Amino acid sequence: MNPRLPAEWEIQDGVLLAWPHEGTDWAYMLEDIRPVFADIIRHIVRFERVLLTAPHAASAAEYLDNVGVDLSKVTICEIPNNDTWARDFGPVTVNYNNKPVLLDFGFNGWGLKFPAHYDNLISKRLKQLGLLLPNLNTIGLILEGGAIESDGLGTILTTAECLLSPNRNPQLNKSEIEQALASLVGAKRVLWLTNGFLAGDDTDSHIDTLARICPDNTIIYQACDVPLDEHFGPMKLMEQELAAFTAPDGSPYRLIPLPWPKARFDEQAHRLPATYANFLIINGAVLVPTYRDLENDRAALDQITSAFPGREIIGIDCLPLLEQHGSLHCVTMQLPQGVLA
């Protein structure tokens, strides 16, 4: 077995999402959040298929149809969900000898913070319904998709804050986590960030909120250029760590900083984790979260364009997603070529 975790920019069959409904934490703001999900789905189906879970498939289909989403490329399956963060409970696709295999890692609500009894079963239910083609292997390791970035060549980028969290895999030390990543996803080396965070983030610093591996030995990362902001020091230290990393060929990474979005707060004045790093790469395009912050939104789209020449860069208003402490990448999980039935 030679496992390989594909890079996100490799060819995909589709994207998995879970529908926000009355039984989720979105219940109080469904009128605000459903248009965001519909917008994400509307853009994805221009390029590939969408697999959507919902406890009431007919009502989700009716909503999407009413707002003009092309349902011919959307498969809606009736499966209950606690929440909508498909990145973290969805199956992780690994290629074994160039054939896709699905890894169903344990999901425990980001270190036992939130209920996950339905979400933890979604990959199994999708397989039982015949919607996923490859074998599905249940893995005893707790690991969320948002916690790891891959270049497709054996480099894994992650954060110590998340993968070494005592509420995830307390029985494993750093070396044992690296060994598990080597055997399960083909990690030849693991790059650990020990600095960088976003206030209001429930994930213990998922890498997909901070820094992303891009093609051609490039890392794009969320920077902070506001000296009085609480993030300024930690994000500068993270920047220094990224500058010290080398690509597989030994050269320094090309680093692209993202602008610091305007601070956002909830009704209780708690800081919300706005980040431009939480973008989704799909076939032919990159979907980028924007936050009604005209100057920074535009600058972020320009920076991401420089990392993905030839792809359409599409901004999607994700300000409502911040209310539950996530963004665009967090609510999606790409399904690489050969996965969808």
| CA 82/CA 256 separation, integer angstroms | 36
Look at residue 173 in the predicted model and tell me its pLDDT. Answer: 97
Based on the number of CB atoms within 10 Å of its own CB, is 55 exposed (0-12), middle (13-18) or buried (19 or more)?
A: middle
Show the tokens assigned to 131: 């919607």
The pLDDT, as a whole number, for residue 261 is 98
Q: How far is CA 159 from the centre of its chain?
A: 14
What architecture does CATH give domain 3-336?
5-stranded Propeller (3.75)
Question: Which amino acid, residue 7?
Answer: A
Counting as low any pLDDT under 50, the low residues of the chain are none
Query: With contact defined as beta carbons under 8 Å apart, do 150 and 114 qualify?
Result: no
Q: Return the pLDDT at 198.
A: 98
Mode of pairing for the β-strands spanning 285-290 and 280-282? antiparallel
pLDDT digits (tens, 9 = 90+) for 221-268: 999 999 999 999 999 999 999 999 999 999 999 999 999 999 999 999
What pLDDT does residue 108 have? 85
Amino acid code (one letter) for 37: F
> Contact 50/17 with Cβ under 8 angstroms?
yes
pLDDT (0 to 100) of residue 309:
94
Dist CA 31 CA 93 (whole Å)? 33
Structure confidence at residue 95 (pLDDT): 97
Residues with a catalytic annotation lie at 330
Phi and psi at 234, nearest 5°, equal -60, -35
- If DSSP codes are grouped into helix, strand and coil, which group holds residue 87? helix
338 close to 13: Cβ distance less than 8 angstroms: yes
Largest pairwise CA distance in the chain: 53
Residue type, 90: G
